[in-house]
Structure 1
Amino acid sequence: MSKKKNSYKKFSLKKKIILTCVSIISLAIISFFTGFGIYAYKLNKAIPMELSSEVSQQNQSVIKELYTEPLIQNLPYSVKVDDIFIHAKSAILLDASTGWILYEKNADEVIPPASMTKVVLMYLALDALEKGKIKLTDKIDLPPESWAKNAPPHSSLMFLGKDQNVTFEEILIGMNVVSGNDAAVAVAMCLFGTVENCIAKMNEVVKNLGLTKTHFVEVSGYSENNLTTAREFAIFSRSYITRFPESLQKYHSIKSFTYPKKHNLPSYIDYEDAKVNGIPLEGTMPITQKATNRSLDVIPGADGLKTGYINESGFNLSLTVLRNGTRLISVTMGGPGNGSIEGNKFRTEDSLAIMNWGFALFRSERILDCYKMNTKAPGGTEKSFILTESILDNHFITVPNLKDASGKFLPLTRNITVDEKIEAPITLGKQYGKIDYYMGDYLLQTVPLVADRTISEGNIFVKLYGKIYNLF
């Protein structure tokens, strides 16, 4: 009898243990899935934590660095277009907003830039102004090397001379409008002490832009040993315009220049007498010159940039034109011509042809809203983050001028794709999707969708919840 009782007690104890274990396990399962339910509910309702202004700016800088666009690149889609005839040996056309190349002809042929060289010197001058190293109103000492009478034969000149009173701004205008070689020397020596120091800085600037075929041995463009290509000078021109857009109106679109004026002459020279008896090369006779860039008078919307000519280069031009919100940049080099009249004629014909062709076929369209979407981060220490386009600001697309049956431009559309099963860890700047921009059947551009922050993995339960969440 006692044995039966003992057996019954043992059975009851085992039953209690089993029931207790089952209860504990059931409770654990219920608790786990209740916790998961609460987690999933909160995850679905989660709004990304707002980043501080400082952290947000730092993160944006990281994204911009990760997804830096090249200064110029091939058009990322193909479209059938009619070819154009260009007299120049070498040419290139691009959209200034995107850097997308619309047309090119022998764009990598190495040719002396001639006076287009002065745009690089102008870049250094505007950089110095921006950094407060000099002011536009500063009076500039003119060393003998900068006097017109000491310039090489057949130089373009603004007619600087001994004892003149001239500001830095006037010299910049003279260098850009009438392509004064004397002005280029004055700017170089004013900023860097010697022409040699300036040349070194010019070469440093183009090297930093990755221009391997561009090199300078003097500052005005007079030497045939200054070298560049249409492609590389287009890169530089876009960089210059992007950084100093105000320079176009201030310096590059002026159509004529008179120098010296009354206030420029030394006190011992009578201005009225100088008009009649002055000597140009001595800088004592006021002279009005038209801008060397004749395209300003001929091409609608032209507002820069710089001409160039020496015998070894032919007729060169870096040109920019703005029409209806679209800015194009062309560089033509090695243009033909017997003398300046014929050379300017062919150069202008080329520029008009290439610009009219470009504007007829393409335009820039700005994406006003940088696409952003709240995105869950299962398994993370934060429940959500923001997916954002990798192009955070100034997003332009070069679009073809396609029209519907009614004659209206086709609209720009976008298709959004987000990766499935995203889970922590989330990495700042990592791609988790994309946006495809279309016009009609043309895929114009694909832009990565990237994380706006880094999110670490949570604890073991959060990680497990995240894994389970992604199963559904």
Structure 2
Amino acid sequence: MSIMNLKRYLAVLLMVTLVFSIITPLKQASAASDPISISAKASILVEASSGKILYGNNIDEQLPVASMAKSMTEYLVLEAIHKGKIKWDQTYTPDDYTYKISQIRELSNVPLRKDGSYTVRELYEAMAIYSANGAAIALAEVVAGSETNFIKMMNDKAKELGLKNSRFVNATGLENRDLMGMQPDGTTVDEQSTMSARDMALLAQRLIKDYPEMIQTASIPRKTFKEGTDMPNYNWMLKGLIYEYPGVDGLKTGSTSSAGSCFTATAKRNGMRVISVVLNATDGTGDIKKPRFKETKKLLDYAYNNFTVEQLYPKNYQLKKQATLPVVDGKQKEAAIITKAPLIVAMKRGEKESYQPKLTLDKRLLNDKGELTAPVKKGQKVGVMGLEYKGSEKDYGFLTGNSGGEVDVVTKENIDKANWFVLAMRGIGGFFAGLWNGAVHGVQGWFK
């Protein structure tokens, strides 16, 4: 090899070495930007009170959720109880459809007797603890008269709760092919209920918030049905079960051949409740039960090892840059505005200074000059205060989008409308002030 060729070879080698030395750290940094690795088709971790997403992967893809769809059935049953439409001690006798489904023991079921009488509470416990499919259909019939009517309620409620990537085709979460040709009208045999991880977490959040008593049932590790059927809870992370995890007290498992290993968990420790969802979790073994608990443990460990709930701003807080709003026609010309409640949010330890307050005013209440019009009532909502993240960590936003964890901003005191005399004097004062200002400007012009 000539000296010239050798020099060229060395130059190319040096260039390649430099390129690889630059690319390799970038790849490592990219990988490091994802704080944990969850082996699931989709996963999400949320602080329950604020809806702050602590981790998420593929959170908006609509996927089969199997029996986790029963969380919507639970919501509608509890709503009907609270509204007085049904009662816990109300009884139900199975029809042919419910009876036949309840007899399929390879599905999760408590066998119902055709001449049996079961209370709503008994059916609810069978569904919430043991994921009993016949019991879920029975409850749908109690609430809506038929499962067909009930799935309309499920999808209507999904829209009301802001679930944007969800569709329910039955009350159980089973694949319709398992319903022996008796699937609800308007659905086909090859359909199944689907949700996104975000929607599942949002439904769980609302279920816990709106009907917190449901945790009492979800946390029962085992119970016996009235006719002697043993009902072990499929949530193996509850106290005393094989994957026991401190603080876990719910919520719902799910598994079918197409949905895979799914689990929506909730846990409360050190004053912080979190919700996690894994859809189609895997561990390489082909097992359909265990992977959901292994991957959920990673999420819960990540939450409790790294995050804390902090009060960033107290109740009655006033923003330094906008502590008041101008008021037209009022006895006072400004209205002080304050937060109605403390702003509390989950964050990584050491990140408190990375959050700044963000005020969003309700422009419908203001005139084109940005003024309130008197009279103004004390406690009148004028907007919301949220947060802007200024740190370097990956920010996943909130369950409801980039905004969330907000508190209402309200007026601090009443401002009555000024009487006609005051308004007239202000008008006269404004008129003469205009004349004076015009005169001043005119005189100044003589000396330019």
Q: With structure 2 as the length reference, what TM-score do the two structures score? A: 0.68
Query: Is structure 2 residue 262 aligned with structure 1 residue 316?
Result: yes
Contact 1:379–1:462 (Cα < 8 Å) also in 2: no
Q: One-letter code of the match for 2:261?
A: F
Match of 2:348 in 1: 400
Match of 1:145 in 2: 97
Match of 1:370 in 2: 315
Change in Cα spacing, 1:353 to 1:430, as seen in structure 2 (3 Å) is same
State the secondary structure of the residue aligned to 1:115.
helix
State the secondary structure of the residue aligned to 1:142.
coil
Residue number among 129, 132, 137 corresponding to 2:84 in the alignment: 132
For 1:200-279, what aligned pairs fall within 5 Å after superposition?
A: 200-223=152-175, 224-249=191-216, 251-261=217-227
Cα distance, 1:450 vs structure 2 = 5.0
Q: One-letter code of the match for 1:294?
A: W
Change in Cα spacing, 1:464 to 1:343, as seen in structure 2 (3 Å) is farther
Contact 1:213–1:229 (Cα < 8 Å) also in 2: yes
Cα distance, 1:153 vs structure 2 = 6.7
Residue deviations 1:43-94 (CA, integer Å, cap 9, x gap): xxxxxxxxxxxxxxxxxxxxxxxxxxxxxxxxxxxxx976222121110111
Contact 1:435–1:448 (Cα < 8 Å) also in 2: no
Query: Is structure 2 residue 301 aligned with structure 1 residue 356?
Result: yes
State the secondary structure of the residue aligned to 1:303.
strand
How many Å separate the matches in 1 of 2:119 and 2:86? Answer: 11
How many Å separate the matches in 1 of 2:343 and 2:84? Answer: 31
Cα distance, 1:382 vs structure 2 = 2.6
Cα distance, 1:151 vs structure 2 = 5.0
Match of 1:325 in 2: 271
Contact 1:317–1:332 (Cα < 8 Å) also in 2: yes
For 1:42-441, what aligned pairs fall within 5 Å after superposition?
A: 83-147=35-99, 151=103, 154-223=106-175, 224-249=191-216, 251-261=217-227, 286-296=228-238, 297=241, 298-336=244-282, 342-366=287-311, 369-372=314-317, 380-383=329-332, 385-389=335-339, 392-393=340-341, 395-402=343-350, 425=373, 429-430=381-382
Change in Cα spacing, 1:411 to 1:147, as seen in structure 2 (3 Å) is same
State the secondary structure of the residue aligned to 1:459.
helix
How many Å separate the matches in 1 of 2:152 and 2:130? Answer: 25
How many Å separate the matches in 1 of 2:37 and 2:139? Answer: 38
State the secondary structure of the residue aligned to 2:46.
strand
Cα distance, 1:170 vs structure 2 = 1.2
Q: Which has the larger radius of gyration?
A: 1
For the aligned residue pairs, the C-alpha RMSD in angstroms reads 3.9
State the secondary structure of the residue aligned to 2:289.
helix
Change in Cα spacing, 1:439 to 1:362, as seen in structure 2 (3 Å) is farther
Contact 2:102–2:110 (Cα < 8 Å) also in 1: no
State the secondary structure of the residue aligned to 2:127.
helix
How many Å separate the matches in 2 of 1:256 and 1:463? Answer: 76
Change in Cα spacing, 1:166 to 1:241, as seen in structure 2 (3 Å) is same
Q: One-letter code of the match for 1:388?
A: I
Flag structure 2 segments of 5+ consecutive residues without an equivalent.
1-31, 176-190, 362-368, 398-404, 438-448
For 1:449-464, what aligned pairs fall within 5 Å after superposition?
A: 449-451=409-411, 459-462=423-426
State the secondary structure of the residue aligned to 1:147.
helix
How many Å separate the matches in 1 of 2:213 and 2:47? Answer: 18
Q: Report the count of equivalent residues.
A: 354
Change in Cα spacing, 1:132 to 1:401, as seen in structure 2 (3 Å) is same
Cα distance, 1:237 vs structure 2 = 1.4
State the secondary structure of the residue aligned to 1:89.
strand
How many Å separate the matches in 2 of 1:440 and 1:207? Answer: 34
How many Å separate the matches in 1 of 2:38 and 2:194? Answer: 21
Cα distance, 1:424 vs structure 2 = 6.2
Q: With structure 1 as the length reference, what TM-score do the two structures score? A: 0.65
How many Å separate the matches in 1 of 2:302 and 2:275? Answer: 13
**Percent same amino acid among aligned pairs?**
27
Residue deviations 1:321-350 (CA, integer Å, cap 9, x gap): 11111111111001236999x333211111
